[in-house]
Each structure stands twice: as structure tokens, then as C-alpha cells.
Amino acid sequence: MSDEQAEGADGRIPYVPGFARWPEDSPTPKQRGKELREAVPRSAHAQLELGAGRPDAVAAVEESNAGRLPELKPIRVGRMVANPFAFMRGSAGLMAYDLAGTPVTGIGAQICGDAHAANFGLYGDARGSLIIDINDFDETVHGPWEWDLKRLAASLVLAARVAGADDAACRQAAYDAAGAYRRTMRLLAKLPVLDAWNAIADEELVSHTDARDLLGTLERVSEKARRNTSARFAARATEVVPDGGRRFTDAPPVLRRVPDAEARAVATSLGGYLQSLSEDRLPLLARYAVHDVAFRVVGTGSVGTRSYVVLLLDHRGEPLVLQVKEARPSILLAHVAKAGFEVPHPGHEGRRVVLGQKRMQVVSDFLLGWTTVEDRPFQVRQFRNRKGSVDPAELAADQFDDYGRMTGALLARGHAHSADPRLVAGYCGKGEALDEAVAAFAVAYADRTEADHAELVAAVRSGRIAAELGV
């Protein structure tokens, strides 16, 4: 009898492909996770062995700059030389190269691919409530869950060093992030599936992770996020035109108007964007008119990619601003393949980013979609949707352990949507072996990143690579 023909527990209901079996297969996911420790001991995650062919920092930056707008490359380099944490924010590909030589359990998850400490933040849901979660998915792929955790832990050490924290506090932040990840995965593994799936980040998360020292900081960020809206941005970045509409005003180098043909291409692409949305969103957007398009420079890792803001106005002149941002292939793809994970056939990169985001977040932007502009893939999302973030490099020394616990818990929740939390929790276990190993890795990798940053600074000073500072 085939699997499809096998009967269910009561002898009448056949097994339905795509669903779990009942009774559950043996060994259970938790048992399988425990068994993986034999092949990959948790202590092995402390290892960092850099290969002889590793590109130097400047070569890695130049490689990641390929295909970006030439006039913006110096801005990207200028932001990366600010400090070692800023360098790490722009070097996901170099770290993926290094991670490909580290032990992996083989448990796959939808990973952020760039889960550094600054890629967590607040944003508004459809009703205006604030959610805190991972908020950058440009590099998202199916890959090793360990890579996200190690990138988060190493970034916490670097951010804490930039903030002036001592060595003990830096290591503790990484240790606590790994511990919170492990404990949260164990908690999710014990919950009913729907409860675990729909776990929302709110004050309970702060309590669960014992992050009370962050409450004041989060409250300040929340207040700022509530004011960070399309209306506020449009009021500052646009002007009234004779027909009563509005248009963007130049604010170089961050915001600039674009030629008419370029603006028309972006505006026309929104027809394709509508096709990527759920049909129930279409009547809402049909009540807005497209008024203007401008180019806007984005964050450190994405500087040099094409990114536009589109101004929509309703019948009262109230604005909604959409961001149309170029989606390039994930820089992790070749490295994920080296780690033994299957790489999907090339598809629309905007679709990859959007689906990866929806797979990791409990609540996503309800206008999230994708489109194509002049044969280039783009993602589309609300701009300034009550977004706010903590700058980890500006935290007080005694807040880094709290921030590490909070972000570690958020990361675990994101992974648990695509990886069975019982399997990951079975591997992570009750003890602190994984926490110790990840903390050791994080400190070692932070040391390596500081050396890479120093190489880039020296290259800028010598004229080997151009940088525009302070932008």
C-alpha cells in the first residue's frame, strides 16, 4: 500500500499528503533533533576557520558593489567605514562566505540572511498597532538557521564595542541572544501549533525575555514610530503644484526627482504590483491616484540599488507613499548551496523577498507586493508605515543583554514558521552548550570584522576605493 493509500488512525481516513501523519512518526522531531547532536555537537558552533581563498575586505565590498549605480557606491563605502558594526551591516556576503565553512545541523528554515542587530524594528499593522519584528529581508533564502543566529550574535558584540561596553558585556549580549533563541524555540515547541504560529510580539515578549531595562528605550522609539507616517514624510518632502496636487522636492543626495520617462516606467509598473496583491486590497488602492515618483537612497546594505518613492493621494489629498525597491538575487545563494541546501531555480527576486518576509513575520505590511520596472525585479511596500528602530550602537552598556534576549526571541519565532520548533528545540536542548558556543563564535567573528573594517579604512585613505563620508 502506498503512503497516499495508508489509512488514518480510525481506519477510515486516508493519509492526506501535505498534512502530518497520525499517530506521529517515530522518532519524533524532538528525538531527531537530539540525534543531530551526535553528528554536529553544539560546541562545534564555536568554530571559525577562515579559508585560504577568502577575499579581503576591499575585494568583498567591490564584489558586492557590482551592478549598483556607480554614483552611489562611494556613499555605501562611506557608510561602511564609519565603524566595524557599520561595516558588518554592509558585508552579509563576506560573512556568508565565512559561515559556509562552519558546521551546520542540516535543519533548514526560511532565514533572514542578514539578521544583524539593526535589522529589527517597529512597524504598524493594518489597524495602526505597533509590532516589533525582523524588518529586512533582501537576502532571505531557505538555509541554515544557525547562520542567522551567529550573525545576530556577532553583530551584538560589535555594536556593544562601538557603544563602549566592556568585553564582558559584549560577550554577554551574544550569549543571551543565543539563550533566548533556544528558550523561545523550546517554548514554541510546547505550545499548541496555532498558539505558537500566531505568537505576537508585545509587552509579553519583553517580560518573557526579561528585557525590562529596554522599556524606556522602546517607549521612546514607539512614540517616534507613531509619528513616522506617509503624511509626515509627504509634508516635508513634497510641495503643492498648480493643479492642487503635490510633487516631490529635490533633497540631494538622498532624494531627487527623476526624468519623466523614468517616472512613467515606475508608475506604470504599479499595474503589475496590483496583480501580486490579494484581490481584497484592490478597492482600497483604486481610491488613490498616482501623483509623483522620486528616487530615494536607502540603507547601508542597499545603497546603490534602485529605489523609488511613489506619492499617492486620495480624494481629500491625504497621502500614501509606496516604496518601489530593487530586489537583487540573495547574496547568500552560492554559500547556501555550499552548505548543502538546495538552491531554487531563479525566479522573480521581488517575489522571493515578499514571500520570505511573510514566512518569517506574524504580521506583515498588508500592501506588500512585487513588480518589474524595465526588466528589473522590485519589491513594493508602504513607506514610513509607522516604522521605528533601536540603534543598537547607541544603547547603554547595561541594555545590550536585554536587547540580545529580545532579538534572539524574535529570531526564534521567525524561524519557527518554516522549521519545526520541536526539531530545532530538540537539537538546542535544555543546557547552555549552544549559548556558550555561539558567544565564543561571536567574539571571534567580531575580532575578524574589526580587522576587515581596518582594511577598508586603509584602502579609503590610500585612494584604492572611493568613499563619500557623512551621507
pLDDT, tens only, 112-138: 999 999 999 888 888 878 888 999 999
pLDDT at 200: 66
Q: Does the pTM exceed 0.75?
A: yes
pLDDT (mean) for 332-351: 93
> All 3 cell numbers of residue 389?
528602530
pLDDT at 207: 62
CA distance 107 to 341: 9
pLDDT at 202: 52
> Which of 193-197, 274-278, 409-413 comes out lowest in average pLDDT?
193-197
Query: Of residues 128 and 208, which shows the higher confidence score?
Result: 128
pLDDT, tens only, 389-401: 889 999 999 999 9
pLDDT at 205: 59
Q: Round the CA-based radius of gyration of the chain to a whole number and report it.
A: 23
pLDDT (mean) for 257-261: 96
Using alpha carbons, select from 373, 359, 261 the residue that is nearest to residue 326: 373
pLDDT (mean) for 372-382: 97
pLDDT of 215 strictly over 80? no
- CB count in 10 Å sphere of residue 196: 18
pLDDT at 457: 97
Q: Is the peptide bond before 23 cis (omega within 30 degrees of 0)?
A: yes
Q: What residue spans define the domains of the chain?
A: 1-33, 34-226+393-462
pLDDT, tens only, 230-252: 899 999 999 999 988 899 999 99
Averaged confidence pLDDT in the chain: 92
Q: Is the peptide bond before 283 cis (omega within 30 degrees of 0)?
A: no
**pLDDT > 90: what percent of the chain?**
77
pLDDT of 317 strictly over 60? yes
> All 3 cell numbers of residue 366?
498588508
CA distance 117 to 404: 8
CA distance 73 to 62: 9
